[in-house]
Amino acid sequence: MRVTPTPRALPLGILGLMLLGTAGCSVDAGPITIPRTAVQQILVTEAIERALDGLEWPDLEGRTVVVRSGAPGVGYGSPSLTTDEGYLLRAGEVRVARSGGRVVDDPSQADYVLTLLAGALSLDRSRRLFGIEGTEGGFFPITFPMLAIYERLHEEGFAKTQIVLNDAHSGGLVHASGPATATTYYRTQTFFFVIRIRETDTSRPESYE
């Protein structure tokens, strides 16, 4: 007896073959793209804020302070700051102001030089997928949606910082604190194509995407 597939049966049969091909399939996350997503930016900036909050800040009431920063791969005083180091520098200046100090640019007009050291300012990403990865076209202008029996995406921000305060004229050590570390996370889990669970410890709403 010969069975002729009906038009409705064809998509179901194709879907069944695709699902059979997912057994034991897993993929790792690809490289982090630039520009970062809003979630990724918040992960790093909040990790920086938390690490700075974990430091003991000196009383700078009435003092003038030059604020400098140093991060891996970037020379001290370099004019080409990375985005993360730029944020670290500005966040440090805010804390100097909160401590009663006044930020200046000219070391000759400063009482102190505050150096913000960053052992790490980073974003890590991992992903596991049991299903079929979607496509974005290419040689054939056809796209296929991702079919995820289970997908887990985990992104983590990390910051390690410390501060060193020196006399601007003598160079002597006035105050030091740290290192302090902090992490943030955002993760999603998808079950059977449509059920999604989101978790984060940042100020970003879990339901926002």
Higher pLDDT among residues 31 and 23, named by residue: 31
Q: Which helix (H) or strand (E) holds 41?
A: helix 38-53
- Domain-located, residue 128: yes
Structural domain span for residue 89: 25-200
- Domain-located, residue 15: no
- Domain-located, residue 106: yes
- Domain-located, residue 10: no
Reported confidence tier of residue 144, pLDDT bands at 50, 70, 90: low
- Domain-located, residue 3: no
Ordered DSSP codes for 92-131: HHHHHHHTT-EE-S-GGG-SEEEEEEEEEEEEEEEEEEEE
- Domain-located, residue 126: yes
Task: Say how many domains are in the chain.
Answer: 1
**CA pair distance 53, 205, nearest whole angstrom:** 22
Query: Where are the strands (E) in the chain, listed by range?
Result: 64-70, 102-103, 112-132, 135-136, 143-144, 147-167, 173-191, 195-200
- Domain-located, residue 206: no
In contact, 199 and 97? CB cutoff 8 Å: no
Quote the pTM value. 0.74
Q: How many CA atoms lie within 13 A of 35 on its CB side?
A: 6
pLDDT tens by residue, 48-96: 999 999 999 999 999 999 999 876 544 444 444 578 888 999 999 999 9
- Domain-located, residue 11: no
Domain of residue 168, CATH code: 3.40.50
Residues sharing a CB contact under 8 Å with residue 75, sequence separation 6 or more, in sequence order: none
The arithmetic mean of pLDDT across residues 169-173, rounded, is 95
pLDDT tens by residue, 110-140: 999 999 999 888 889 888 887 766 665 555 5
Task: Provide the pairing of β-strand 173-191 with 147-167.
Answer: antiparallel
Residue 20: is its pLDDT beyond 70? Answer: no
